[in-house]
Amino acid sequence: MLDRSTIWPYEDGEPGEFYYQRYGHPAGVEAERALGELEGGQALLFPSGSGAITALLLALLEPGKTVALTQDAYYGTPVLMKMLGRWGLQVVEFDQTGSPPEGADLVWVEAPSNPLLSMPDMEAAAAHPAPLVVDSTAATPVHLRPLELGADFVLHSATKFLGGHHDVLLGAVVSKAPEDHERLLEFRTRSGIVASPDAAWLLVRSLKTLRVRMGRITANAQEVARRLEAHSAVERVRYPGFGGLMSFDVAGGGEAARRVETSTRLIKNATSLGGVNSVLETRARWEGGRVPDNLVRLSVGLEEVDELWADLEQALSG
Ligand SMILES: *Cc1c(COP(=O)(O)O)cnc(C)c1O
């Protein structure tokens, strides 16, 4: 049962496992145990993926330190990091299919990147002396376990596939080293960047179906990617072969892409990704010149693949 208490009575005059919600609460601990097991490390929840990024940067770094960030990271990540420039954080961008730049104090890659779907060279990233963060939001531990490939931290926007139902905003960091976990936990407790019991409880629910959801989502997405590749109105498809996130470029430019996104019926024209229902949107509306103006990002859900394809086909032929 979901326990929303902010306090729990002391036991024999001393704090027990739970005593004040900011330090920890039962649903949070349960969700963190489940996610930690899936990733092979120790997980901590945050109120959003962005909150998790903020906490990790502030807990690990200090003014004058430099993050090497993949140039095609989720667009909110560089926006946030540059905002923290006022507190002395420096950012250099690099191509994650090659080696991170020397001298960086933290290396930050995304597997696969959203929405350009590049995969990091994990060997090169792990060989860099700085700690390595892998934003594994689009892969999930079903398809990738970065801690086994040399990462020190795995970051998730659990709002996406982990939450999986477009009904919870949540983030997580999974640490490999116990001392990193402790440091981040202490920062989280003191800063108060803490996820609520309700959100954690929804994640517990969602993780029970993660493996079956990702299995079906991947099977659907592989088939949709194959059919898009063969469609004459599609110039290019980006899909890493697993997971539900892909993007494709529509022949005829930005106008044509706008027509496609407003013509689907089953697939909703909405932002975000990772839910049981498929969504799609052009990304230039948010990211400007960072992405082609005819790029449509598609997050494939659990619908019947033939129904998904029928919807895309009628939208592409419009
Ligand atoms: C959505 C997203 C984020 C940000 O997460 P929020 O939960 O929206 O704050 C970070 N990284 C990636 C790859 C994302 O897709």
pLDDT digits (tens, 9 = 90+) for 152-178: 999 999 999 999 999 999 999 999 999
Question: 151 pLDDT exceeds 90?
Answer: yes
Domain boundaries, the chain: 21-208, 211-317
> Is pLDDT at 234 greater than 90 in this prediction?
yes
pLDDT band at 71 (very low <50, low <70, confident <90, very high): very high
Ligand 1 geometric centre to CA of 53 (Å)? 9
Gyration radius (Cα) of the chain, Å: 20
Measuring CA to CA, which residue among 227, 296, 224 is closest to residue 263?
Answer: 296
Helical H segments across 21-111, by residue range: 26-39, 49-60, 76-83
pLDDT digits (tens, 9 = 90+) for 105-131: 999 999 999 999 999 999 999 999 999
Q: Which CATH superfamily is domain 211-317 in?
A: Aspartate Aminotransferase, domain 1 (3.90.1150.10)
- The per-residue pLDDT for range 288-309, each reduced to its tens digit, is 999 999 999 999 999 999 999 9
**Residue 262: pLDDT above 90?**
yes
Q: Whose CA is nearest to atom 5 of ligand 1?
A: 49
CA distances in angstroms from 25 to 3, 6, 22, 32, listed in the order given: 8, 8, 8, 11
* Dihedral of alpha carbons 24, 26, 31, 33, sign: positive
Please compute the mean of the pLDDT values over residues 6-28 and round it to a whole number: 98
Shortest-distance Cα residue to atom 8 of ligand 1: 49
114 within ligand 1 shell (Cβ under 6 A):
yes
Contact 224, 298 (CB under 8 A): yes
Pairing of strands 132-135, 153-157: parallel
**What's the distance, Cα to Cα, between the start and end of the chain in Å?**
49
Write down the pLDDT at residue 233: 98
Mean pLDDT value of segment 42-57: 98
Residue to probe by mutation, ligand 1, list 118, 160, 196, 273, most atoms within 8 Å of CB: 160
Backbone angles phi, psi at 270, to 5 degrees: -150, 165
d(CA 282, CA 272): 11
CB 189 within 8 A of CB 277: no
Ligand 1 in contact with 160 (CB < 6 A)?
yes
CATH number for the segment(s) 21-208: 3.40.640.10
Pocket test for ligand 1, best of 79, 133, 157, 291 (most atoms within 8 A of CB): 157
Question: Under a CB-based contact definition with an 8 Å cutoff, are residues 168 and 199 in contact?
Answer: yes
Instruction: Give the mutation target among 137, 193, 287 for probing the ligand 1 site: most ligand atoms within 8 A of CB.
Output: 137
Q: What letter does residue 8 receive in the DSSP assignment? A: -
Tell whether ligand 1 has an atom less than 6 A from the beta carbon of residue 74. Answer: yes
Q: Give the separation between CA 96 and CA 110, rounded to whole angstroms.
A: 8
- Token readout for 198 is 């309700």
* Mean of per-residue pLDDT scores for the chain: 98
pLDDT per residue as tens digits for the range 174-223: 999 999 999 999 999 999 999 999 999 999 999 999 999 999 999 999 99
pTM of the model: 0.98
Per-residue pLDDT for 318 more than 90?
Answer: no
Quick check: 264 and 227 in contact, CB under 8 A?
A: no
Structure tokens at 308: 């998904």
Cα–Cα distance for residue pair 102/208, rounded to 1 Å: 41
CA-nearest residue, atom 2 of ligand 1: 157
Judge if the beta carbon of residue 50 lies within 6 A of ligand 1: yes
CB-CB contact of 245 with 115 (8 Å): yes
What pLDDT shows up at residue 1? Answer: 85
DSSP assigned state of 20:
B
Nearest to 235 by CA among 222, 214, 254: 254
DSSP string computed for 91-144: EEEE-TTSPPPTT-SEEEEESS-TTT-----HHHHHHSSS-EEEE-TTTHHHH-
User: Which contiguous run of DSSP H or E holds residue 254?
Assistant: helix 253-261
How far apart, in whole angstroms, are the C-alpha atoms of residue 173 and residue 171? 7
